[in-house]
Amino acid sequence: MSREKKKEMIAMLLAGGQGSRLGILTKHVAKPAIPFGGKYRIIDFTLSNCVNSGIDTVGVLTQYRPLELNSYIGNGQPWDLDRLFGGISILPPYTKSKEGEWYKGTANAIYQNIEYIEMSNPTYVLVLSGDHIYKMNYKMMLEYHIETEAACTIAVLNVPPEETYRFGMINTDENLKIYEFEEKPLHAKSTMASMGVYIFTWEKLKSYLIADEANKKSENDFGKNIMPMMLEAGENLYAYEYKGYWKDVGTVESLWESNMDLLDPDVPIELNDPPWRIYSRNETLPSQYIGNNAKLNNVMVSDGCSINGELEKSIIFPDVKIKEGAVIKNSIVMQGATVGNNTALNYAIIASDTVIGDNVCIGAGAAMGPDGHHPEITVIGPYITIDDGVVIPAGAMIEESIIKKEGE
């Protein structure tokens, strides 16, 4: 029996990064598993983009603290990725007969999973990172990739000239054919930044991955090694312009900002978009209850919450309890947290399952933050307790419980 099993394109999702600039928020979980936007995790956006683009085979490459991410992904059913042929696979590094090693870089991670990719015998491979917030149709990008006969297509977005130092910049001719890469330049020639979304023709990529692995000096990175090598060899590399909303949530500030973007009608990211739903694993929780003294003003609230305080411009995750007299502004309260009576939060991120007592003040005396757009963000880590009456200054990152001693 020879029934040929073949996929046109599969996705490889790099989810092994730590995201160390997120501090306590990524102490226990990988960055893609960070809660976002009321009921989602960051990885939901990329996974939903895949299924909405008709990609049904996704390999998730994990390395840093994968347990919570693994159990969140499960068999992929919430994203419709439990399939007979294909579906979702979690791919941690594994030992081989003689050697076996951690993923050394983004390209090495794919190199170590060549066998996995070949099981689907794909013509094209989509390489993604699991830590960006955006909605994108990869199918249209693939059409472009086929049309231009490229070996590699890189999705790019326009960034302001003063931010080019944060990105891998791409220089192209008028047909968007790439002739040069610049890694985080202070003064870039163009404003086209790589989004970390690549489509490769698999046969080409495979040969370059093997060549790159043979080079002991290589950092085994797509941006630094693979793409420049392909360019040098005279391959066709094209940029694909993306014009929608895209945000890298690599820092506390950007995580806060992109959450707040959801509350801003002028920012083009709409979650309530039935043809392009963002799927997520849902907890079993009843509808939310809004109490007699609640005031809600530009607020997103999820299932299982009980709200009795005053809220303004905030995002409340599932199963959060907010007691009477609490005043929450410009803040994010993650799953299972409790905020006590008469407690004030301003410009704060409260991580999952944390208990904030009564009369607590978080984000007191907020000074302007590093970018000058908004005050500093205060972060309270997960699974901790902040005792009644504690005052936490703006910009602090609290990793352990604050319990008052007797008689204080």
Rounded to an integer, what distance in angstroms lies between the CA atom of residue 96 and that of residue 271? 43
Nearer Cβ to another protein, position 52 or 225? Answer: 52
Rounded to an integer, what distance in angstroms lies between the CA atom of residue 269 and that of residue 31? 21
In the numeric block, which tokens belong to residue 271? 């979650």
**Minimum distance from residue 359 beta carbon to another protein (Å):** 22
Nearer Cβ to another protein, position 189 or 295? Answer: 295
**Minimum distance from residue 51 beta carbon to another protein (Å):** 11
Nearer Cβ to another protein, position 129 or 338? Answer: 338
Rounded to an integer, what distance in angstroms lies between the CA atom of residue 245 and that of residue 238? 21
User: Under 8 Å CB-to-CB from 348, ≥6 apart: which residues?
Assistant: 330, 331, 332, 362, 363, 377, 378, 379, 380
**Minimum distance from residue 41 beta carbon to another protein (Å):** 14
In the numeric block, which tokens belong to residue 220? 């085994």
DSSP β-ladder status, 87-91 and 57-61: parallel
Nearer Cβ to another protein, position 119 or 271? Answer: 271
Phi, psi of 157 (to 5 degrees): -135, 155
**Minimum distance from residue 78 beta carbon to another protein (Å):** 7
Nearer Cβ to another protein, position 64 or 279? Answer: 279
**Minimum distance from residue 233 beta carbon to another protein (Å):** 44
Nearer Cβ to another protein, position 269 or 366? Answer: 269
Three-state SS sequence of 328-353 = EECCEECCCCEECCCCEEECEEECCC
DSSP string, 163-214: GGGGSEEEEE-TT-BEEEEEES-SS-S--EEEEEEEEEEHHHHHHHHHHHHH
Per CB under 8 A, residues contacting another protein are 37-39, 77-78, 271-272, 277-280, 282, 284, 286-303, 306, 311, 315-316
Yes or no: say if 30 and 62 are a contact pair by the CB < 8 Å rule: yes
Per the document, the length of the chain is 408
**Minimum distance from residue 272 beta carbon to another protein (Å):** 5
User: Under 8 Å CB-to-CB from 67, ≥6 apart: which residues?
Assistant: none
**Minimum distance from residue 303 beta carbon to another protein (Å):** 6
Element containing residue 147 per DSSP (H, E): helix 138-147
In the numeric block, which tokens belong to residue 343? 């407690």
Nearer Cβ to another protein, position 201 or 352? Answer: 352
Nearer Cβ to another protein, position 158 or 298? Answer: 298
**Minimum distance from residue 37 beta carbon to another protein (Å):** 8
**Minimum distance from residue 273 beta carbon to another protein (Å):** 9
Nearer Cβ to another protein, position 38 or 59? Answer: 38
Nearest 10 degrees: CA dihedral of 317, 318, 320, 324?
Answer: 90
In the numeric block, which tokens belong to residue 110? 């794919």
Nearer Cβ to another protein, position 107 or 316? Answer: 316
**Minimum distance from residue 66 beta carbon to another protein (Å):** 24
Which ranges constitute the DSSP H helices of 216-284? 227-232, 252-261
